Amino acid sequence: MSAFVPAVRAEFTKTLSTRMWWILAIILVAYVGLLAGGIAFGLGALDASGQDDAPPGPVGMGETVAGIPVDLLAPVVYSLATAVGYVFPALLGAMLVTNEFRHKTLTPTFLATPRRGAVLSAKWVVMFAFGALFGIAALIGTVGLGAAGLTAFGFDPILGESDTWALFGRAVLAMALWALVGVGLGVIVPSQVGSIVIILAFTQFVEPILRLAGGFADWAAQVAQFLPGAASDALVGASIYTVMSGAGSESLDWWQGGLVLLAYAALFTVIGYLANWRRDVT
């Protein structure tokens, strides 16, 4: 423990003393905020125009807008913070690790803290905190602009309900876990360009396609629910992807989703530790 607490302080300073964290945070807030505002205004305008051609949901689900039950409008808009924004904490986590390889700072880092496991644990602690911070920032964006859009068209932003705030809490947890997944991926793929490309390609392209494919067969849906993005959406409890892929898709319970995401982070980190972190630093 004697090396761990100092290592945590050092990792906080490392993260705060370069520009990357706030550049990513600003892009994240602007991106998910504008998306949430745009979708809220778009759906509101569609509903108000009376030209909603989408088939209504199953009987008993009540009024829908573009096929989305009105009850789910606000959660779907707010959860864009995680459903779209989760890539940002993952990038931050991966960069905190790959920076050490890229700029050869592993040398002074391991000189100051020869217990290498303590360094990696410290990165987990610090990235969990920054991931949570990103989650709060992203929610400020989606709730701020999203609630404004919903309210403007007469929908209830349901900000007074405890369920909504529970969703916010789970969203913050999801973002924190994604930063840990990023740390794990960064140790497995120490090349900075390599790990950034993998994160972007997987989250923006590979996983959406796999989840879409999961909608075509039962067995595929069983597997697809364990994909990291699907687990994350299950943890948060609402997602534009879940709504789009229809009611037939499988989903984990929120706590199962959280555990699956944590398992990904832990598995990646342990594999990376064994494969790369213990190596000679030359």
Partner 1 sequence: MPEGVPIEFDGVTKRFGSVAAVSDFSATILPGRVTGFLGPNGAGKTTSLRMLLGLVAPTSGRATIGGRSYAEIERPFATVGAALEAASFHPGRSARDHLRVYAQASSIDARRVDTVLDAVGLTPYAKRRVSGYSLGMRQRLGLATALLGDPGVLVLDEPINGLDPEGIKWIRTFLRSLADEGRTILVSSHLLSEVQQTVDEVLIIAKGRLVHTGPLASLESHAVHQVVVDSPTRPALADALTAAGMEPVPADDGLIVTGAEPDQVGAVAFAARVQLSVLYRRKAASELEDSFLALVGEEGSL
Decide whether 31 or 110 has the Cβ nearer to partner 1: 110
Among 13, 191, 204, 222, binds partner 1 (CB under 8 A): 13
Residue 4 interacts with partner 1 (CB under 8 A): yes or no? no
Q: Does 191 bind partner 1 (CB under 8 A)?
A: no
Least Å distance, CB 52 to partner 1, is 49
Regarding 206 and contact with partner 1 (CB under 8 A), the answer is: no
- 3-state SS string for the chain: CCCHHHHHHHHHHHHHCCCHHHHHHHHHHHHHHHHHHHHHHHHHHHHHHCCCCCCCCCCCCCCEECCEEHHHHHHHHHCHHHHCCCHHHHHHHHHHHHHHHHCCCHHHHHHHCCCHHHHHHHHHHHHHHHHHHHHHHHHHHHHHHHHHHHHHCCCCCCCCCHHHHHHHHHHHHHHHHHHHHHHHHHHHCCCHHHHHHHHHHHHHHHHHHHHHHCCCCHHHHHHHCCCHHHHHHHHHCCCHHHHHCCCCCCCCCHHHHHHHHHHHHHHHHHHHHHHHHCCCCC
CB of 118 to partner 1, least distance (A): 10
Of residues 94-123, those binding partner 1 (CB under 8 A): 99, 103-105, 107-115
Both tokens of 166, joined, read 């529970």
Among 1, 19, 59, 160, binds partner 1 (CB under 8 A): 19
The reply on whether position 27 binds partner 1 by CB under 8 A is no
Closest CB 109 distance from partner 1, rounded Å: 7
Residue nearer to partner 1 on the CB measure, 67 or 117: 117
Shortest approach of partner 1 to residue 92 CB, angstroms?
A: 14
Question: Of the ranges 7-15, 35-43, 58-66, 75-83, which one interacts with partner 1 (CB under 8 A)?
Answer: 7-15
Tell me if 10 contacts partner 1 by CB under 8 A: yes
**How many residues bind partner 1, per CB under 8 A?**
27
Contact track, partner 1, 61-100, x by CB under 8 A: --------------------------------------x-
- In the complex with partner 1, the residue whose CB is nearer, 27 or 45, is 27
The residues binding partner 1 (CB under 8 A) are: 2, 6-7, 9-10, 13-14, 17-20, 99, 103-105, 107-115, 280-282
